[in-house]
Chains A and B, each alone.
Chain A
């Protein structure tokens, strides 16, 4: 039993901090998922390419595909530091999910072709998995891919397309085997947005970001844009979701907690500092507990990886906790700050309007499937209860 960072890991942490000091002015920190400001977006794309140029987007990937071959804990350390600064790292559907799919099921040739580009953020990829009728039940997707000569003809509709507005490529899951059902016969493609037949209609979200309906109307896609094997899509998606780099979600919460704690030390209510209010102290304690729960869940992932141990409870427990914690955590932040917490950024808003934004953002906790679905996995795969 130990929780310790080696001197090498500490110096890696310092290297990440130095990079952020040099490349990220505090006023340019923002949540890429929810801010549609064009100037910030341009900065974020440049910033992400700088991270890519260091090789850090593919930090854990094998070196032959443009990665640095570093262990998962280094990715976690980097993620901790990036979260503490709210570093606007964009394009994770590309270097995260698409790369995860390729690493899980791409051919050597495909990996050699796509991964270096994804690692440099030369390709900006949007998410094209979910459909109007296939959300948590992704295996019910209906978009089809039909061979036509050397090409594929893709037809269907995707939704919630995150980053569709900014991306040039759509990571698309389509049913390539006629009459196949569930997780059989699904194939993955990278579809360029500029092909004839691709169109979008934007859907602004509660967080202040933009998602999209994406329509694929008999889009003719060259065979070289298929990734993985024909019919191997489901396996890739599952392993990309579950086998992706270790993300330091605790640092996201820790950053917010520190902001709220600072606010409590600086603000007064009823003639005393907020930090001296016994109820507020209990609420702060509860927030601190949630941060610690998330931290230890992350550390458990690292530990399991080091020990080559299968994750506990079907790998679903941490996901459930994370998803269910998010709205609760930020609701407690709201309760601590009080009525002015509903104010958007402005002269009178506490914490520069952050609490208001966190509240709205906190309902984005269903990407990758709802907590209910993950609880079913926990109960059946994790606890052995009957299906």
Chain B
């Protein structure tokens, strides 16, 4: 049976998410939030949590709703369409799913608070080399006499670090390329210093410095030396959700471009009548549709526990490149008008840059695909 449609519940979830964000987070609100002190709305985040969305994929026994990746997928379509700024991907997916699967009993105690939206955990992965993956991790976790570790180094592009209660930090614990260990670190801890990073998307991204931060032995998440492996399943899942976010945003961009091409007249006719403009719009549709097909397949394979490394990597490579290409073609349709900040397209243009690199750019995923072939 080949059936690429969402099931009834997923369709309903998507519909209610679309309605919810249309009223709670229209693009005018997205603009306001970008320039607000926190860069997101704690109030909106609480409302999302109240709808069970902050713990959607967590097991019911841990305060979650026990949803599948495809359930989350449809939610992310709408998060992308509405460009909702929220700590969901880092906290509710990467951190919460990692802790639910590999965390100690003590570490798992925060899960119900993540699900209720009362606690935020931010993953801190990338460093100055700007590469994704265990090999690029330099932040040192040296053993201490007390049996714990001491962190020294810096993480970059950490989302929502300014409101995070805890940080999920990947640090180097040995010379082998993949010798990393994952730590759960209180953000308030002595020696942790946070600095905002101005960026294209206006997204809440931070540099987090660790200056001789002393951790006790119980800060380790999963097995020591297996940090990347501990994190990988949740990163994979998060990457598929980001594909969904790109697809949702792409739908919005395509709709905008079509509307504009129909209504804008030059040379005495709607510009959408020109084949050159039709080409641009069809380029967006093609990228959008292919991204959607590949991402749905990846999500389904993950849910089914089937081998998925190749399909997942290719879905990411496709979506990462599509994010860029779709807005670029839309700018060709909007021309000068699209360059003005008053046009909503630029909100997508800027967010696309974040998506393009977050959780690995196309280069990384092509490499991962060939590695798995």
By a CB distance below 8 angstroms, the chain A residues around B293 are 293, 296-297, 299-300
Closest-CB distance, B73 to chain A (whole angstroms): 9
Q: Does A177 contact B (CB under 8 A)?
A: no
Q: Does A4 contact B (CB under 8 A)?
A: yes
Given that A292-B311, A375-B282, A385-B272 are contacting pairs, would A282 and B367 also be in contact in the complex, using a CB cutoff of 8 Å?
A: yes
Closest-CB distance, B127 to chain A (whole angstroms): 21
Pick the interface stretch among A35-43, A117-125, A302-310: A302-310
Q: Does B256 contact A (CB under 8 A)?
A: no
Q: Does A376 contact B (CB under 8 A)?
A: yes
By a CB distance below 8 angstroms, the chain A residues around B270 are 386
Alpha-carbon separation in the docked complex, A386 to B5 (Å)? 29
Is A385's CB under 8 angstroms from B278's CB? yes
Is B282's CB under 8 angstroms from A379's CB? yes
Closest-CB distance, A11 to chain B (whole angstroms): 15
Pick the interface stretch among B78-86, B209-217, B284-292: B284-292
| New contact pairs (17) apart from A1-B5, A288-B310, A296-B297, CB-CB < 8 Å | A1-B6, A1-B300, A4-B2, A288-B369, A288-B373, A289-B318, A292-B311, A306-B1, A307-B3, A320-B282, A320-B286, A375-B278, A376-B275, A376-B278, A379-B281, A379-B282, A385-B272
SS class, residues of chain B in contact with chain A: helix
Alpha-carbon separation in the docked complex, A376 to B70 (Å)? 33
By a CB distance below 8 angstroms, the chain B residues around A289 are 314, 317-318, 366, 369
Is B4's CB under 8 angstroms from A299's CB? yes
Is A317's CB under 8 angstroms from B3's CB? no
- Work out how many contacts link A and B, with CB atoms closer than 8 A: 139
Per-position contact with B for A177-193: 1 when CB-CB < 8 Å, else 0?
A: 00000000000000000
By a CB distance below 8 angstroms, the chain B residues around A20 are none
Q: Which among B281, B290, B297, B313 has the greatest number of chain A C-beta atoms within 10 A?
A: B290
By a CB distance below 8 angstroms, the chain B residues around A146 are none
By a CB distance below 8 angstroms, the chain A residues around B254 are 383
Q: Does B370 contact A (CB under 8 A)?
A: yes
Which of A3, A6, A288, A385 is within 8 Å of B300, CB to CB?
A3
Interface size in chain B (residues, C-beta < 8 A): 47
Interface size in chain A (residues, C-beta < 8 A): 45
Is A385's CB under 8 angstroms from B290's CB? no
Is B285's CB under 8 angstroms from A285's CB? no
Per-position contact with A for B215-226: 1 when CB-CB < 8 Å, else 0?
A: 000000000000
Q: Does A378 contact B (CB under 8 A)?
A: yes
Alpha-carbon separation in the docked complex, A364 to B301 (Å)? 35
Is A1's CB under 8 angstroms from B278's CB? no
Interface residues of B in 251-290 (CB under 8 A from A): 254, 258, 261-262, 269-270, 272-273, 275, 277-279, 281-282, 285-286, 289-290
Given that A284-B370, A379-B278 are contacting pairs, would A303 and B290 also be in contact in the complex, using a CB cutoff of 8 Å?
A: no
Which residues of B are at the interface with A, using a C-beta cutoff of 8 A? 1-7, 10, 70, 254, 258, 261-262, 269-270, 272-273, 275, 277-279, 281-282, 285-286, 289-290, 293-294, 296-297, 299-301, 310-311, 313-314, 317-318, 363, 365-367, 369-370, 373
Q: Does A380 contact B (CB under 8 A)?
A: yes
Q: Does A352 contact B (CB under 8 A)?
A: no
Q: Does A281 contact B (CB under 8 A)?
A: yes
Is A288's CB under 8 angstroms from B4's CB? no
Q: Does A269 contact B (CB under 8 A)?
A: no
Is A378's CB under 8 angstroms from B2's CB? no
Alpha-carbon separation in the docked complex, A378 to B272 (Å)? 13
Given that A1-B300, A296-B290 are contacting pairs, would A285 and B317 also be in contact in the complex, using a CB cutoff of 8 Å?
A: yes
Alpha-carbon separation in the docked complex, A313 to B297 (Å)? 20
Nearest-CB residue, chain A, relative to B4: A303
Is B296's CB under 8 angstroms from A386's CB? no
Which of A285, A297, A302, A320 is within 8 Å of B365, CB to CB?
A285
Is A2's CB under 8 angstroms from B272's CB? no
Alpha-carbon separation in the docked complex, A164 to B219 (Å)? 76
Which of A278, A285, A302 is within 8 Å of B369, CB to CB?
A285
Per-position contact with B for A275-292: 1 when CB-CB < 8 Å, else 0?
A: 100100110111011001
Alpha-carbon separation in the docked complex, A4 to B299 (Å)? 14
